Amino acid sequence: MEYRKFNETYYIRADKGDEIIGCILDVCKKEKLRSAIYSGIGGCSSAEIQTFIPENGTFDLRKISGMLELISLNGSVTSDDEKELYHHTHAAFSFVMDGEHRMAAGHIKSIVVRYTAEIELRPVINGAIKRKKDPETGTGFWSFSEE
C-alpha cells in the first residue's frame, strides 16, 4: 500500500494481497484521523460480505472469491471515546459465475486486493464524528455529541 495527501484528501493505492479495510484504518492511525469517509474501486480476489439480520441480532456472513471487480466502495471511519477506530463499509462487486455476470453487495467485513484498489479518503475537517453503540442492535452509529 502507498498513499499520498493532496490538500486535505488522502489517496490510497492498495496492492496485491492487501486487505482494503486494514489499509484505510492504517492510514487513519498514521495520520491521526479520528473520522473520515471514503470511496473506491479496484480488482479484488476475495470479500466477506455481511447482512444484518434484525430478528436475531446477528450478521449473515458470505464469502466470495475469484476475479471480483470492486465497482463501488463506500464507507466511514469513526472513533469512540478511547479513540479506537471503527469502519462502516459497504461495497458492490461484479464477477462471472457459470458464464454469467453476477453481482454481490452489502456490508463489508474484509476485501483482499487481486491487482490494485484506488481509494479516496476524506477526513472530517474541524471536528470528529464519534461512534455510539445502539443498545437495540448492538451495532454502532454516528454520534455528534461532544461528550
Name the pTM for this structure: 0.92
For residue 146, pLDDT over 70 is answered with no
| DSSP summary character for residue 49 | E
- Which positions ≥6 away from 15 have C-beta within 8 Å? 1, 2, 113, 116
pLDDT score of 106 = 94
- 63-111 tens-digit pLDDT: 999 999 999 999 999 998 788 999 999 999 999 988 999 999 999 999 9
pLDDT score of 10 = 98
- 32-73 tens-digit pLDDT: 999 999 999 999 999 999 988 888 878 899 999 999 999 999
10 Å CB burial of residue 75 (0-12, 13-18, 19+) is buried
For residue 132, pLDDT over 70 is answered with yes
For residue 139, pLDDT over 80 is answered with no
pLDDT score of 103 = 96
pLDDT score of 7 = 97
CATH number 3.30.1330.80 given to 2-125: yes
- Mean pLDDT, residues 2-29: 98
- Mean pLDDT, residues 122-146: 84
**Domain residue spans of the chain:** 2-125
